[in-house]
Chains A and B, each alone.
Chain A
Amino acid sequence: MRASRWPVFIWSICFVGALWLAATELSIHSDLSDLLPEGTTNTQRLLLTQVRSGLAGRLILVAIEGAEPDELARLSRDLSKRLQGDAQIDFVGNGAQGLPSDEQELLFRLRYFLSSTLQVDTFSVDSLRGALEKRLDDLRSPFGLLIKEYIPSDPTGEFLGILQSWSEWEAPTKHREVWMSADLQRALLVVQTKAAGFDAEPQAAIQQHIQAVFQRLREDSSSARLLLSGPGVFAVEIQQTIEQEIWWLSVTASLLVVVFLCVTYRSVTLMVLSLIPLTSGILAGLVAVNSWFGFVHGITLGFGITLLGVVDDYPIHLFSHLTRKESAQTTMRAIWPTMRLGIVTTAIGFSSLLLAGFPALAQLGLFAVAGLGTAAVVTRWVLPVCIPAGFVPRDISPDLGRLVGGLPKAKIVVPVAVILATIVLIWSDTPLWQEDLESLSPLSADKKELDQHLRQELGAPDVRDLLVVEGTSVEALLMKAEAMMPRLEQLREGRVLSGYDIVSRYLPSHHMQQDRLKVLPEREVLERNLAVAQKGLPFMPGLFAPFVTAVAEARSLPFIDRDTFRGTTLGMKLESLLFSHQDEWLAIVPLRGVLDRTQLATAAASWGDTSVSYVDLKEESNRLMRAYRNRMMQLVGWGTIAITVSLAVGLGSITRLGPVLAPIGCALIVVVAVLKGSGESISLFHVATFLLVIGLGLDYSLFFNRREGTESERAKTVFGLLVCSTTTILVFGLLAFSKIPVLHAIGLTAACGSLCCLLFSGLMAQREATDA
């Protein structure tokens, strides 16, 4: 007797140990980007890196509406002032900010490197004369006061030329110094956060802070509202939606299962006992995922627990087979071979998730496999010991066995269902595969619309079309970018696109800087030319001495590079356009208002430079999803083969494979037809759920096909199966009502699949053959 207690003792130690580990080591993440895949091509990997940490992701678009334009402008100014110094915020823009004066000075000092208007003859007598006459015009124009301070040291107007060429971006209209929508209904701001856009927790904190500051600024009577949009806002919203959904889904699902089990077995002891494998499984899953990945994602946690609800099947099978005559251990030993086979095949199904290369699914797979294995071991060796002697939850009428035993007579239903399903598959107009990643986003359509709208009003790039340029060094990359500029200009003039941003506009290559330096004349030459050019013009004598000095100094300035502008507005710009990625340098050229994507792709290809590629982000992310789905399909294929082989080994016969596998194959066909018929296309997540369906279905099918002696034992099996499948269908059926597309996909597929598997397994069970 003492020996039989050992498993419980070991289990208790492990359980407490795991609890302690979970309590001390467990780190739960909420960053959505942790769940993003690595990408299969270089471009995809790069883009995903950008999505994770890039500048575009860190931009929050802010709009204030619902008040008079003057009030909106005041709110915009005050909000920007309050947020400016915040440690979590890099930058606030509302149109009122100019370049900080020290940055202006820096650019002014470096103007001869940066100016794209510098020509070979800029400092010739004729050009200088022309420039000086222009400056006289400026002085007597209403612009005079603005430009005056730059005239003595920059009479050729390089600095203002630089600023002009950089301000190509079409800024929104302004009212009282701040950005407004054209109809003055909304004040517009942008906030750049320090935290990455996908980092939901700090993002949520920043957004709450912005809201709180706004509420304080707003007068109580005012009807002004604050609207936020952008990747960070979406991340927070997605996370909140997921958290809420997971919460209500798991609470409702647990309630349903508890109520169902109570009604079925009318036993509190049973409820408590069935929790032993489940909690052990969950704990094991947590510890496994945390030690392998270093963290557990909130979504894995929420969804994995729902998924592990499946392991409740094992104690239920045991309970259903308990009799007063034999001990729980004996019963367990009797049903173990069948259960073991079901567990192995389900585990094989789940482990394909591990190999999918998609972090979200891999975590889930590991969680499920570890949980499943643990729950199985606990059910086999710990649970029977805990069951009080003579505990029989419920007497099961042998009629049930007879009733179900009669099912195979209605076998004809299966081929009919499969034929109907095939017809639906052929006739339905719904595309079989889900190609648009967008449709998987849990964001509501009006949120997306608001984002589009604000982007348009702010003139912010819509982050869809890009050119990516690769180079072995910054210098090589900049030279490539410089060579691209005239081509891009051509495309713009040809109305293929309406604008672009490129790093070489802000930072010239050393080569280009060298060329510009060569243009700068020696001091004596410049003095001579200037004297001639100035003749007869009413400038104060000696006025241009700062100019002569500046040119002389520029000749000996060191070349500029990225470091020159570190920490400045320009530096931030450069960071977003140029960065290193796995030993090479990349420049991103965001394109604005692309009208003709095919023409653009053709043009980019015709440049014949393989290091320049045009990327349609939307298309690219869909391609990424497609690649993962195909990989998943392959894994499902291999998984099926592995399952078949282990079944053949486990059953010890190939002929018995047929009756076990056939119902599941039929069920899958019907599930796909149901999905397609109800207007759903198959996505990666449906495919992943097929594995779950296969695992569940095998479990049902194996028990239905189990060799059993008596009618009453048969009834017990059937009863157990009915209870198991009902709980599964309840839980996943509930999931199908989720408004998160991914959960909905999984729920619908699994609920539908387990129902079909149960039904078909019952209908196709070959009892006659095994009874003999």
Chain B
Amino acid sequence: MMCGIAQISPFLLFGGLLLVGTVAAPENASSRGDDVTGAWTVEQVVASLKEEREPEVPFEEATHSSLLSAPLIVRGILRFTPPSRLEKEVLEPYHERYVVEGDLVTFESERKRLKKSISLGDYPGLRGFVEAFRAGFTGDAGRLMQSYDTVIEGTRLKWTLVLRPRDPAGRAMVEDLVFAGSEGRISSIVIHAADGDRSVMTLRRGAAK
């Protein structure tokens, strides 16, 4: 039996999108973060993120790759519809849409004339993110902590939250995810790929900039 492309792992860049949801979840367990700062804990970040959550946020994402002489930029909108629908819509320079709903990921591209659905089960790395996100929404902080090592630094007005995947499949692809923000607003999400490439997503919320 041939194992085709379906065997090749996840599209992890989705992680950023998913975490908007994840961190918007209440979390009971405190991380090592609060020992370090004392002022600002993962718990508090989660609480205020949920409080200040907006249904959609415009973003700009820059992909830095060792293959490229200059970063590639896309712009679009992130949407979140409780309890579990996440959408990343790219508007520039072309139109593309990724939707995670339940166990299904739908990918739609105008330019590639493509509409494709895949099951999260086929993408172990991605599944980790989605599970973290779900754990957050069901208030299951234990499951989030199962998926990531979390470190929080900084103050209430300027914090960074680092999530490192615990799952080897996830870590093979992604070194860590770094969230930066102020109170309940995320200003940027940086994903460091294991091979040194990175994607920097800047969220431009009305109050954030």
Q: Does B151 contact A (CB under 8 A)?
A: no
Q: How far is the CA of A97 from the CA of B68 in the complex (A)?
A: 32
A residues near B (Cβ < 8 Å) are 91, 93, 97-99, 134, 136-137, 139-146, 148, 151-152, 160, 163-164, 166-167, 169, 171, 173-177, 180, 190, 538-541, 543, 569-570, 573
Query: Which among B10, B65, B73, B111 is the interface contact of A137 at CB below 8 angstroms?
Result: B111
- Chain B minimum-CB-distance residue to A99: B3
Taking a contact as CB atoms under 8 Å apart, the answer to whether B1 and A139 are in contact is: no
Neighbouring A residues of B72 by C-beta, 8 Å:
136, 139-140, 538
B residues near A (Cβ < 8 Å) are 1-14, 61, 63, 65-70, 72-74, 94, 96, 98, 109, 111-112, 119, 121-122, 124, 127, 173, 193, 195, 197
Neighbouring B residues of A134 by C-beta, 8 Å:
112
Shortest distance from the beta carbon of A106 to any chain B beta carbon, whole Å: 14
- Chain A minimum-CB-distance residue to B174: A145
Q: How far is the CA of A308 from the CA of B68 in the complex (A)?
A: 85
Query: Which among A137, A163, A190, A543 is the interface contact of B1 at CB below 8 angstroms?
Result: A190
Taking a contact as CB atoms under 8 Å apart, the answer to whether B121 and A175 are in contact is: yes
Taking a contact as CB atoms under 8 Å apart, the answer to whether A98 and B8 are in contact is: yes
Taking a contact as CB atoms under 8 Å apart, the answer to whether A139 and B61 are in contact is: no
Neighbouring A residues of B127 by C-beta, 8 Å:
176
Query: Which among B1, B74, B109 is the interface contact of A93 at CB below 8 angstroms?
Result: B1
Shortest distance from the beta carbon of B200 to any chain A beta carbon, whole Å: 12
- Chain B minimum-CB-distance residue to A177: B124
- Chain A minimum-CB-distance residue to B72: A140
- Chain B minimum-CB-distance residue to A91: B1
User: Contacts A137-B94, A145-B11; is A540 near B121 (CB within 8 Å)?
Assistant: no
Neighbouring B residues of A176 by C-beta, 8 Å:
121, 124, 127
Q: How many residue pairs bridge A and B at CB < 8 Å? A: 107
Neighbouring B residues of A169 by C-beta, 8 Å:
1-2, 4
Query: Which among A152, A167, A173 is the interface contact of B4 at CB below 8 angstroms?
Result: A167
- Residue from B66, B72, B94 with most neighbouring chain A CB atoms (10 Å): B72
- Residue from A97, A98, A174, A175 with most neighbouring chain B CB atoms (10 Å): A174
Shortest distance from the beta carbon of A181 to any chain B beta carbon, whole Å: 12
Neighbouring B residues of A142 by C-beta, 8 Å:
11-14, 98
Q: How far is the CA of A166 from the CA of B173 in the complex (A)?
A: 25
Taking a contact as CB atoms under 8 Å apart, the answer to whether B7 and A97 are in contact is: yes
User: Contacts A137-B111, A139-B72; is A98 near B67 (CB within 8 Å)?
Assistant: no
Taking a contact as CB atoms under 8 Å apart, the answer to whether A148 and B2 are in contact is: no
Q: How far is the CA of A358 from the CA of B179 in the complex (A)?
A: 75
Query: Which among B7, B14, B63, B124 is the interface contact of A140 at CB below 8 angstroms?
Result: B63
- Chain A minimum-CB-distance residue to B62: A140
- Chain A minimum-CB-distance residue to B194: A145
Residue contacts A-B, CB under 8 angstroms, 20 given: A99-B7, A137-B94, A139-B63, A143-B11, A145-B13, A145-B173, A146-B8, A146-B9, A163-B4, A167-B4, A167-B5, A169-B2, A173-B121, A176-B121, A176-B127, A180-B121, A190-B1, A539-B67, A540-B69, A573-B1
Shortest distance from the beta carbon of B150 to any chain A beta carbon, whole Å: 22
Query: Which among B5, B65, B96 is the interface contact of A163 at CB below 8 angstroms?
Result: B5
- Chain A minimum-CB-distance residue to B70: A538
Nearest 10 interchain pairs by C-beta: A167-B4, A174-B121, A142-B11, A98-B7, A142-B13, A538-B70, A140-B72, A163-B5, A140-B63, A142-B14
Q: How far is the CA of A28 from the CA of B70 in the complex (A)?
A: 75
Taking a contact as CB atoms under 8 Å apart, the answer to whether B63 and A164 are in contact is: no
Q: How far is the CA of A538 from the CA of B12 in the complex (A)?
A: 23
Neighbouring A residues of B173 by C-beta, 8 Å:
145
Q: How far is the CA of A143 from the CA of B98 in the complex (A)?
A: 11
Neighbouring A residues of B112 by C-beta, 8 Å:
134, 137
Shortest distance from the beta carbon of B198 to any chain A beta carbon, whole Å: 11
User: Contacts A140-B61, A142-B14, A174-B122; is A538 near B6 (CB within 8 Å)?
Assistant: no
Taking a contact as CB atoms under 8 Å apart, the answer to whether B119 and A174 are in contact is: yes
Shortest distance from the beta carbon of B63 to any chain A beta carbon, whole Å: 5
- Residue from A97, A140, A166, A541 with most neighbouring chain B CB atoms (10 Å): A140
Neighbouring B residues of A99 by C-beta, 8 Å:
2-3, 7
Neighbouring B residues of A541 by C-beta, 8 Å:
69
Taking a contact as CB atoms under 8 Å apart, the answer to whether A152 and B67 are in contact is: yes
Neighbouring B residues of A136 by C-beta, 8 Å:
72
Taking a contact as CB atoms under 8 Å apart, the answer to whether B67 and A166 are in contact is: no
User: Contacts A538-B68, A540-B66; is A148 near B197 (CB within 8 Å)?
Assistant: yes
Neighbouring B residues of A538 by C-beta, 8 Å:
68-70, 72
Query: Which among B4, B7, B9, B67 is the interface contact of A543 at CB below 8 angstroms?
Result: B67
Shortest distance from the beta carbon of B175 to any chain A beta carbon, whole Å: 11
Q: How far is the CA of A570 from the CA of B1 in the complex (A)?
A: 8
Neighbouring B residues of A173 by C-beta, 8 Å:
119, 121
Could you list 11 further interchain pairs (A-B, Cβ under 8 angstroms) beyond the known A141-B96, A142-B11, A146-B11? Answer: A99-B3, A99-B7, A140-B74, A142-B13, A146-B9, A166-B2, A167-B3, A169-B2, A175-B121, A539-B67, A539-B68
Neighbouring A residues of B121 by C-beta, 8 Å:
173-177, 180
- Chain A minimum-CB-distance residue to B122: A174
Taking a contact as CB atoms under 8 Å apart, the answer to whether B3 and A97 are in contact is: yes
Q: How far is the CA of A166 from the CA of B14 in the complex (A)?
A: 27
Q: How far is the CA of A543 from the CA of B122 in the complex (A)?
A: 31
Q: How far is the CA of A177 from the CA of B168 in the complex (A)?
A: 13
Neighbouring B residues of A171 by C-beta, 8 Å:
6
Neighbouring A residues of B8 by C-beta, 8 Å:
98, 146, 163
Shortest distance from the beta carbon of B107 to any chain A beta carbon, whole Å: 8
Shortest distance from the beta carbon of B4 to any chain A beta carbon, whole Å: 2
Q: How far is the CA of A569 from the CA of B3 in the complex (A)?
A: 9
Shortest distance from the beta carbon of B128 to any chain A beta carbon, whole Å: 11
- Chain A minimum-CB-distance residue to B191: A145
Taking a contact as CB atoms under 8 Å apart, the answer to whether A148 and B11 are in contact is: no
Q: How far is the CA of A164 from the CA of B66 in the complex (A)?
A: 26
Neighbouring A residues of B124 by C-beta, 8 Å:
176-177
Q: How far is the CA of A326 from the CA of B24 in the complex (A)?
A: 111
Q: How far is the CA of A93 from the CA of B197 in the complex (A)?
A: 33
Query: Which among B2, B7, B67 is the interface contact of A570 at CB below 8 angstroms?
Result: B2
Q: How far is the CA of A146 from the CA of B111 in the complex (A)?
A: 20
Neighbouring B residues of A540 by C-beta, 8 Å:
66-69
Neighbouring A residues of B9 by C-beta, 8 Å:
146
- Chain A minimum-CB-distance residue to B124: A177
Q: How far is the CA of A99 from the CA of B72 in the complex (A)?
A: 31
